[in-house]
């Protein structure tokens, strides 16, 4: 049994350790010359040599992994502990320690979900530190004089930014060149932001008053450098306001959270950075005319108010003349008033004096009585004298009346004819033959009868008989 | 007073000058300020406007690229060859 057991063993080829190790190495390298392996990144070290050592593990096994310095630097995504990745490479052995390992050519995150989970975890951590606080956000200058752009000096991004700036507002641009993906991306971007902040105002290189951190679109892995903590801290601590424009609008990096403003694209960053010069020139011009109009309106309003007020204001001459007239009036009234007042006083004084003096009063009464007596004595003679005068006057009138009486006419030889009724017969026509008449002379009267008719010619007769009639009438 | 007002404008940023000009315009348009003050702020507004226009007209495009030493510190600028 033992022979049977030991026989084949003794017949078997006997390797040296190195031979076996070499055989294993060849077998492994031939079989696993190119593999993809998925696992979580475990312990990760990067010694001074620059090579990258890490573990890939799942719930049961661990696989040692190494990435040579030159290879890892080219990676756009850098593995991190705890991240699930898919590593691509070849297996080999390390005979000196009886170990095998994978020489990694490339590492990718194992699905976006895993990466996003990591990103979210880091975001929470940095947010807890306050790096993304709104209070830290700075105002973007309205019109930056110098804009620092942290991006690749070649490619579409910087061209887009410069062209859009020139379209809107020609500006002094300083490009700080960086690599925008790969292992060196994050340290270069962080150094650029810090370096721009360290430029002295007035120094040989103009200090920007605005920084744009920009990168074109890409995968989450491509943009990963802008999620690195050092970039986030540099942007957050920048004294110069920062606009981030990393990737497309849907790509959000932690740099975007830290920046003062986030632009959806590099072109959008240029639009945020500067206003449109033509619009500003027009706006300033408009403000100029508005303030001129404003002043003109103020002036006009005040002038109108002044005019309105002036209309209501009497002229100074009018005020004076009015006053002067009142002075004149009062002056003239003053003299009269003084005299009147004096008189009134005098009268009152006299009255008071009279009332006070009884002797004077009694004398005035006595005087009155004497006057009454004297006038009574003169009353009777005056009355009789008046009667005499009136009687003489009557005699004179009577004499005049007599001198005018028809009796005197009769005395001169005329006769007065009256009819039976005693009425005066003034003309021949008023009597007819046979009429009884009475004739009166100065010495007496006699009756008579009219003998004949009136003459045939009535015309001359009245004329003839009219004469005495008229004469008689004239006498009266 | 006008000289004093002018000297501080020269160093003003466009933004600050524009904001003050806007304030002045609003004041003048409201017509609330007394005439004396209105004339004074109008004069200042004109100076601010001139300053703004000068800043707008003086703007010119200049594109530079920073040159870096080996250790990554800036040494100067060079034209950016697009």
- Torsion sign across C-alpha atoms A298, A299, A300, A303: positive
For residue B73, list chain A residues with Cβ-Cβ distance below 8 A.
Answer: 195
pLDDT (0 to 100) of residue A355: 65
Residues of chain A with pLDDT > 90: what percent? 39
Name the closest residue on chain B to residue A170, using Cα atoms.
Answer: B61
For residue B82, list chain A residues with Cβ-Cβ distance below 8 A.
Answer: 158-159, 162
Of A166, A188, A291, the CB nearest to B24: A291
Average pLDDT over residues A121-135: 90
Rg, C-alpha atoms of chain A: 79
Residue A117 in this model has a pLDDT that exceeds 50: yes
pLDDT (0 to 100) of residue A441: 85
For residue A284, list chain B residues with Cβ-Cβ distance below 8 A.
Answer: 18, 21, 49, 52-53, 56
For residue A292, list chain B residues with Cβ-Cβ distance below 8 A.
Answer: 42
CB neighbour class for A170 (10 Å; exposed up to 12, middle 13-18, buried from 19): middle
pLDDT (0 to 100) of residue A467: 47
The ipTM assigned to this model is: 0.84
Q: How far apart are the first and last CA of chain A?
A: 228
pLDDT (0 to 100) of residue A461: 47
| Cβ pair B61:A165 closer than 8 A | yes
Mean pLDDT, all residues of chain A: 85
| Cβ pair B59:A174 closer than 8 A | no
Phi, psi of A28 (to 5 degrees): -65, -45
Of B31, B35, B62, the CB nearest to A172: B62
pLDDT (0 to 100) of residue A460: 47
Domain span at residue B36?
2-79
Q: Which residues pair with A261 in a beta bridge?
A: A243
Residue A324 is classified by DSSP as: H
Average pLDDT over residues A372-394: 85
Residue A280 in this model has a pLDDT that exceeds 50: yes
Where is average pLDDT lowest: A9-18, A222-231, A314-323? A314-323
Highest mean pLDDT among A167-171, A330-334, B1-5: A167-171
Disruptive mutation site among B25, B51, B58, B77 for chain A (greatest number of A CBs within 10 Å)? B25
CATH topology of domain A13-110: OB fold (Dihydrolipoamide Acetyltransferase, E2P) (2.40.50)
Q: Is the minimum CB–CB distance between A150 and chain B shorter than 8 Å? A: no
Could you tell me which residue, A465 or A404, shows the higher pLDDT?
A404
Structural domains of chain B, count:
1
The size of chain B, in residues, is: 82
Could you tell me which residue, B63 or A405, shows the higher pLDDT?
B63
Residues of B with CB under 8 A from a CB of A: 13-15, 18, 21-22, 24-25, 27-29, 31, 33, 35, 38-39, 42, 45-46, 49, 52-53, 55-57, 59-66, 68, 72-74, 76-77, 80, 82
Where is average pLDDT lowest: A16-25, A77-86, A205-214? A77-86
* pLDDT tens digits along A55-83: 999 989 999 999 998 888 888 778 888 88
Residue A473 in this model has a pLDDT that exceeds 60: no
* pLDDT tens digits along B11-66: 888 888 999 999 999 988 887 778 888 889 999 999 999 999 998 888 888 899 99
How far is it, in rounded angstroms, from Cα A354 to Cα A365? 13
Domain locations in chain A? 13-110, 138-275, 279-308, 409-449
How far is it, in rounded angstroms, from Cα A243 to Cα A252? 13
The residue written with tokens 């940023």 in the block is: B13
Residue B4 in this model has a pLDDT that exceeds 70: no
Where is average pLDDT lowest: A170-174, A289-293, A345-349? A345-349
Could you tell me which residue, A405 or A129, shows the higher pLDDT?
A129
Residue A466 in this model has a pLDDT that exceeds 50: no
Phi, psi of A404 (to 5 degrees): -90, -5
pLDDT (0 to 100) of residue A231: 95
Could you tell me which residue, A73 or A151, shows the higher pLDDT?
A151
Where is average pLDDT lowest: A114-118, A206-210, A356-360? A356-360
State the pLDDT confidence band at A188, using cuts at 50, 70 and 90. Answer: very high
Residue B1 in this model has a pLDDT that exceeds 60: no
A vs B, Cβ pairs < 8 A, gives 120
| Cβ pair B76:A204 closer than 8 A | yes
How far is it, in rounded angstroms, from Cα A281 to Cα B56? 7
A308-A312-A316-A319 Cα dihedral, nearest 10 degrees: 180
Instruction: Check if the beta carbon of residue A438 is closer than 8 Å to that of residue A417.
Output: yes
Could you tell me which residue, A199 or A11, shows the higher pLDDT?
A199
Q: Which residues contact A211 (CB under 8 A, 6 or more apart)?
A: A147, A148, A149, A150, A193, A196, A238, A240, A241, A242, A243
Average pLDDT over residues A209-214: 95
Instruction: Provide DSSP, B24-82.
Output: HHHHHHHT-S-HHHHHHHHHHHHHHHHHHHHHHHH---EEEEEEE-TTS-EEEEEE---
* pLDDT tens digits along A347-364: 888 777 766 666 777 788
Where is average pLDDT lowest: A100-104, A231-235, A271-275, A467-471? A467-471
pLDDT (0 to 100) of residue A407: 76
Could you tell me the CATH superfamily of domain A138-275? Succinyl-CoA synthetase domains (3.40.50.261)
* pLDDT tens digits along A427-444: 888 888 888 888 888 888
Residue A465 in this model has a pLDDT that exceeds 50: no
Residue A309 is classified by DSSP as: H
Could you tell me which residue, A337 or A284, shows the higher pLDDT?
A284
């Amino acid at each position: 049994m033992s022979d049977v057991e030991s026989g084949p063993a003794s017949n078997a080829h006997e390797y040296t350790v190195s031979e076996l190790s070499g055989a294993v190495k060849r077998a492994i390298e031939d079989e696993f010359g190119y593999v993809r392996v998925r696992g979580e990144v475990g312990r990760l070290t990067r010694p001074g040599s620059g090579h990258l050592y890490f573990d890939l593990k799942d719930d049961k096994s661990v696989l040692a992994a190494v990435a040579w310095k030159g290879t890892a630097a080219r990676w756009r995504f850098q593995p991190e502990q705890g991240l699930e990745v898919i590593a691509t490479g070849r297996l080999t052995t390390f005979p000196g320690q009886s170990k095998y390992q994978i020489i990694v050519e490339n590492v990718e995150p194992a699905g976006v979900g895993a990466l996003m989970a990591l990103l979210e975890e880091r975001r929470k951590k940095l947010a807890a530190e306050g790096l993304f606080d709104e209070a830290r956000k700075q105002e973007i200058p309205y019109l930056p004089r110098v804009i620092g752009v942290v991006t690749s000096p070649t490619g579409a991004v910087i061209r887009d930014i410069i062209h859009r700036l020139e379209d809107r507002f020609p500006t002094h641009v300083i490009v700080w060149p960086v690599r925008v993906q790969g292992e060196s991306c994050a340290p270069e971007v962080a150094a650029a932001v810090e370096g721009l902040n360290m430029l002295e105002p007035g120094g040989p290189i103009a200090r920007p008053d605005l920084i744009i951190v920009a990168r074109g679109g890409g995968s989450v892995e491509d943009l990963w450098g802008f999620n690195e903590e050092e970039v986030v801290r540099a942007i957050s601590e920048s004294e110069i306001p920062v606009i981030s424009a990393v990737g497309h609008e849907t790509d959000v990096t932690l740099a975007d959270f830290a920046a003062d403003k986030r632009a959806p694209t590099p072109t959008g960053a240029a639009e945020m950075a500067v206003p449109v010069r033509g619009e500003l020139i027009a706006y300033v011009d408009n403000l100029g005319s508005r303030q001129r109009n404003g002043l003109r309106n103020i002036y006009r309003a005040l002038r109108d108010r002044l005019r309105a007020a002036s209309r209501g204001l009497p002229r100074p001459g009018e005020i004076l003349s009015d006053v002067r007239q009142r002075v004149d009036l009062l002056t003239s009234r003053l003299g009269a008033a003084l005299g009147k007042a004096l008189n009134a006083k005098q009268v009152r004084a006299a009255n008071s004096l009279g009332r006070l003096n009884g002797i004077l009063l009694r004398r005035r009464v006595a005087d009155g009585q004497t006057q009454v007596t004297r006038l009574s004595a003169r009353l009777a003679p005056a009355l009789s004298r008046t009667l005499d005068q009136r009687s003489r006057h009557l005699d004179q009138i009577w004499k005049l009346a007599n001198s005018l009486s028809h009796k005197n006419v009769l005395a001169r030889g005329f006769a007065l004819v009256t009819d039976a009724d005693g009425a005066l017969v003034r003309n021949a026509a008023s009597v007819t033959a046979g009429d009884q008449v009475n004739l009166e002379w100065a010495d007496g009267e006699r009756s008579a009868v009219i003998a004949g008719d009136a003459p045939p010619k009535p015309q001359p007769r009245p004329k003839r008989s009219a004469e005495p009639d008229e004469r008689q009438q004239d006498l009266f | 007073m006008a000289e004093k007002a002018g000297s501080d404008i020269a160093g003003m940023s466009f933004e600050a000058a524009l904001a003050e000009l806007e304030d002045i315009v609003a004041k003048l348009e409201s017509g609330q300020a007394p005439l004396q003050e209105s004339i004074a702020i109008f004069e200042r507004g004109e100076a601010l406007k001139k300053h703004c226009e000068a800043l707008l007209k003086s703007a010119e495009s200049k594109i530079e690229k920073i040159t870096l030493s080996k250790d990554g510190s800036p040494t100067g600028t060079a034209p950016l060859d697009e």
